[in-house]
Structure 1
Amino acid sequence: MPMNHNFLENWPFDVLFEAFTQQGEEVYLVGGAVRDLLLGKRPGDWDFTSSAEPDKIAAILAEAFPEHTLILKGKRFGTIGIDLSDAAEDVSFEITAFRKEESYTDGRHPEEVAFQASIFEDVRRRDFTVNGLWMDRHGAIFDAVGGFSDLKEKKIRCIGQADERFDEDRLRKWRCVRFAAQIGGQIDAHTRDAIIEAPTTDGVSVERIQIEFSKMLTGPDAAFAVRELKATGLWDDLLRRSASEDLPEPVTEKINEVPSDLAMRLAWLLQNGSADRVRAFLKGLRFSNQIVREVTVLLNFSTLDCRDIVKFKTALRQMGAPLFEKALALQKVKSDNAQNRVVFIKIVNDHEPIVPSDLAIGGRDLKSLGFHGRQIGDVLARLLRWVYQSPKQNQREALLERAKAWRDQENKNEGKQSE
């Protein structure tokens, strides 16, 4: 299994290990960081665990890294963080005291935490075997829960009894599906059955679920993730939590071919839903206003067609080039309509006018011709539609002549009506 642990020989981790060793305390890299290293990936989070209690962890870190500020918000649960980022690299990590968790009553957080534990007790209270591995300063990996073999088989399995692990923290049901999708694997049968028997996530904030959902959709196998959500009952629970039980079936076919962009994959997944229903679903899951807007716009402009150049350019004006490109990319996955992209590239390369400010004349010019008030905006809009069809006509004299012709025609019509 590929692994690179050369980082252990580099600052700041060598300083970290040495500081705890000198104080007679154990410290190990643990959990997802070890998992990612075994998969040949650079970890997204660096988590350590130590025999030292929280106050001593804080003291050791303060002495080892005197110029940096400790992060103490997780101290209640035994976690001390520190940010060592500089202009060259982002480096931060958390160290948590060995702990035993006593009881959970809200489906998310332990009521009590005991810190006088061993590394073996610490890993046995964790969620999945692939997250129960730990590594010392020399790169030696230790496994007391079968995580190494499960990782080789690409299998996600709960440590201990699955129903107990999920009762402790119901968010683990979503993390289970996400990890399986990320490693291109499967969920252990007993673990999967435990989710099917109790897919509810009450007690977990929808914001936390949305984060897991977003990671699934932008991950390497979104199709697998959504199929598992459906098969385990987590999808129906998600619809219940977001008050969107009437949302149509999600579309997983070809979703992995969609670029790994959250708005694009959401738009693909929810393409059978109306914009209003989709918007309500996304808002119910506390997605950002930007994501809600992008998804609904992509759904509203899902049938772009350059054969109607006025509508095509009008859509470009309303969406903006970045979102328009996303719409074209989605369309390519669906129908591989290459001509739309060819036309779009030509519009961009030729700097064809798209918004009123691109016109060779403006409001002052129209005002000098006798237009006023709303007439100015109306005439600019008409001129824009005209040059959509004939971009070469975006010349000052041509536009002024066209505006004069419209003015004269309107004056003539008014004269006839007054007779």
Structure 2
Amino acid sequence: MDAGLFTANNVWMMLATALVFFMHTGFAFLEIGLTRQKNTINILFKNIFIITGGLLLYYAWGFNMMYPGFEEGSSGIFGFAGFGIGAPEGGMTPEYADGGYTWWTDFLFQGMFAATAATIVSGAVAERIKIGSFMIFTVIYVGLVYPIVGAWKWGGGFLDSWGFYDFAGSTLVHSVGGWAALVAIFLLGSRIGKFDDDGKPKAIPGHSIPMATAGVLILWLGWFGFNGGSVLSADPELTSLVLVTTSLAAAAGGFGAFFLSTVLYKNLDLTMFLNGILGGLVGITAGADLMSPNEAVIIGFLAGLIIVLGVAFIDKLKLDDPVGAVTVHLICGIWGTLAVGLFGDKAGMGQFMTQLYGVLIIGAFCVICSFIILGGLKAIMGLRVSKEEEMEGLDIHEHGMDAYPDFTND
């Protein structure tokens, strides 16, 4: 391979890595914007812990657990290539990864993905989970559950051999986080005041919708790296197609959510509009490289409709998800994964059934693991803060500080 092409590929992958890293800023802005001022530092602390701890865990063993190099004849369920990371012979040359990037770029790009699953959970459990319990959960889930599931497809495991397809992680990233979020909010219970005596949901407004809006726009920008980098090279045709399908699905998702929420609720709900954009992004992620622009618009628009219906469904179940994480990442993640069998280059009943099997297997594994981890933490040290701590805010009780001291009354 030409040295210039190898360099161009690697530079694009490093840029994509930076864009995925920047998504953590978007997640943080979105979460604090949609929640109350008194819990801002708590949410920011969790997000910083996730990216720092997640990267170290991925270095320590996660990368080698997710890409163990399954031997021929292996079951393709679990493998481990050892602790730590070290570049193999040829890891800095075009012979590695077909010249798409170097070994170090490979590790860092994949490492940026690893922490996202726990970030999804962070938003769902906001304003009432104990910080210590959350940190322990993050270490176990990001350190073990995520790389094991990732190995089943991206690491060449049994789902890969079956033909299961997930280009950039509608299931392997978003649904993995979404399943854990669902279990967590079930075990935690709703925030005080979320439901009235008749069980009807009540709005608990976030303290900064402008910040939440900025967070969504940052996430959209970051998705250019999330999906665009998943091409694993700077291939001009495929990279540009992926960026187009990603953007069109995001726009259509926002428009779908805006349209249906306006029809059903007779108001122009910005938060539903914003989550519709995210739903479109999650929905296209599994097949962004397979879809035409027309198909991307359809997938995104339907994801937007799913957002509105999904949020209402979660409320009907009396589950409290402050940022809509379960609907955005789990339900739209499932939709996007199944859409690979309905649209695009791989569409067909056989592919659809393979996608469905993958969704069910990964879902069952994640739910079981989440119940074991979170249920164990609940029994041993508790998951939820006290009523007093929740009412007064986690910032003061768990961190001893205020995010906006100049604007807080004494």
**Does the alignment reach a TM-score above 0.5?**
no
Is the helix fraction higher in 1 or 2? Answer: 2
Where relative contact order (Cα < 8 A, 6+ residues apart) is larger, the structure is 2
Higher Cα Rg, which structure: 1
Is the strand fraction higher in 1 or 2? Answer: 1
TM-score normalised by length of structure 2 = 0.22
TM-score normalised by length of structure 1 = 0.22
